[in-house]
Amino acid sequence: MIELEEALEIILSQVKLVSSEKVDILSSLSRTLAEDVYADFDIPGFDRAAMDGYAVLSKDTNSASKKKPVILEVIANVPAGYSTEKVVKNGRAVRIMTGAPMPKGADAVVMVEDTEKEEEKVKIFRKVTCQKNVSFAGEDVKKGELILSQGSLVRPAEVAMLASLGKENVLVKIKPRVAIISTGDELVEVGRTLQKGEIYDSNSYALFSQVLSSGGEPYRLGIARDKRENLLARIKEGLSYQLLLLSGGVSVGDYDLVTDALKKAGVQMLFWKVAVKPGKPTFFGVRKGTLVFGLPGYPVSSMVNFENLVRPAIFSMLGRDDWQRIRVKAILEKAVSSRGRRKKIIRAKLVKEGDKYLAVPATSQQSSVLKSMVWADSFLILPKEVERIEKGEEVFLELLQ
């Protein structure tokens, strides 16, 4: 039995980066960038109005007030997308819309709320300072600037930035292909009527969803029965993928056949059993570049060790280094304890109460209680050398993505 940290180190040492492909930017959402993206031009590419109003010489407005407005001649009207060659000089102004290029001579924009139109003139009721309400060229992005780095996740903001840079296509990492197999004679596909002693296969659905949310391409290969031939056939099919995830059958019972079947299929075992609760009966091995995980049969244990071990592997295959969970400091709402010599992963929820955050452990920490994962939004890690943390003590919660 090895420590969780050692298990993760072994897994990451076997990871190989996936290759890349060009996609259009709308298809890049939730993908991982495989290239650095630089700006080919300034954004904005010109000085522009940041407000609807009037482009003026700021010194012309120095004496402006409600009681004694400054009156300027309006020499042009410039909507967004248009420009004017007219020059703003003393006593003149240009009607301008947000985003339109600043006319020559003007150094500020008076907001339309501080003006009153009067035929071909405008009354200015408030002074503006030089450069007020002006967005300058390169204010957002400068030509040659590194804007997006490879290994970054593409979110809606990144898609918008790619479009702003005029990029039709972008290089992204190909999603790792992940095979998922549930094992056990008691399992039934969702949609069938349960008979006595049967349960629905929830693990493959949980793992499918976790793989998808981690950036992988999941494939459910169905249920492998507790028969060596059936199990071996499914495993051999799964070994054609970049990752193979099995759930159940990796303990030490008479019908826990997965470990032997994996060895028979040529999988080199690198560890079996991890000093963590839940999730102790976990297998990891490799065969010709395929990473093979044998996860526990209980849904909670399977999901927890996916978060601890599989998600970091998928992230690393994609060239992402942000797999560590975000840690938030909170006050423990109820005492927690552990027996034995294993690190304990406690399901918990982060709750705001007044000006502080509370760490609220799930009522049940049993591996069989899937409802606790539905309720939880974080993990509280109890080190193996710590037997108890009292109510009111400060702890760190690790947020689930």
List the chain pLDDT tens, one digit each, 401 residues: 999 999 999 999 999 999 999 999 999 999 999 999 999 999 999 999 999 999 999 999 999 999 999 999 999 999 999 999 999 999 999 999 999 999 999 999 999 999 999 989 999 999 999 999 999 999 999 999 999 999 999 999 999 999 999 999 999 999 999 999 999 999 999 999 999 999 999 999 999 999 999 999 999 999 998 888 889 999 999 999 999 999 987 765 544 688 889 999 999 999 999 999 999 999 999 999 999 999 999 999 999 999 999 999 999 999 999 999 999 999 999 999 988 789 999 999 999 999 999 999 999 999 999 999 999 999 999 999 998 999 999 999 999 97
Q: Are residues 262 and 333 in the same domain?
A: no
CATH code at 57? 2.170.190.11
Please tell me the predicted confidence (pLDDT) of residue 39. Answer: 98
Task: Indicate the SS3 state at residue 219.
Answer: strand
Structure token digits, residue 91: 């006593």
| Cis peptide bond N-terminal to 79, omega within 30 | no
What DSSP designation does 26 have?
G
Rounded Cα gap, residues 344 and 377, in angstroms: 16
Q: What angle do CA 270, 307, 348 make, to 5 degrees?
A: 135
Domain-terminating residue out of 299, 317, 335: 317
Please tell me the predicted confidence (pLDDT) of residue 188. Answer: 94
Q: Are residues 203 and 222 in the same domain?
A: yes
Q: Are residues 56 and 74 in the same domain?
A: yes
Question: Residue 46's Cα: distance from chain center in Å?
Answer: 34
Q: Are residues 125 and 155 in the same domain?
A: no
Q: Are residues 239 and 359 in the same domain?
A: no
Residues 6+ apart with CB under 8 A from 148: 33, 36, 37, 158, 161, 162
Q: Are residues 36 and 148 in the same domain?
A: yes
Among candidates 116, 108, 121, which has minimal Cα distance to 51? 108
Please tell me the predicted confidence (pLDDT) of residue 305. Answer: 96
Q: How much of the chain is in helix, strand and coil states, percent to nearest 5? A: 20, 35, 45
Is the Cα dihedral 250, 254, 260, 262 positive or negative? negative
What DSSP designation does 151 have?
T
- Phi/psi at 300 (5° precision): -65, -45
Range of the domain at 35: 20-43+139-173
Q: Is the CB of residue 381 less than 8 Å from the CB of residue 311? A: no
Inside any domain, residue 154: yes
Among candidates 131, 126, 114, 122, which has minimal Cα distance to 50? 131
Rg (CA), the chain: 31
CATH code at 356? 2.40.340.10
Please tell me the predicted confidence (pLDDT) of residue 252. Answer: 59
Inside any domain, residue 322: no
CATH code at 162? 3.90.105.10
Q: Are residues 157 and 242 in the same domain?
A: no
Please tell me the predicted confidence (pLDDT) of residue 401. Answer: 79
Provide the domain count of the chain.
4
Please tell me the predicted confidence (pLDDT) of residue 255. Answer: 47
Neighbours of 203 (CB within 10 A): 29
Q: Are residues 340 and 275 in the same domain?
A: no
CA distances from 257 to 59, 121, 181, 253 (A): 85, 88, 13, 8
Please tell me the predicted confidence (pLDDT) of residue 24. Answer: 98
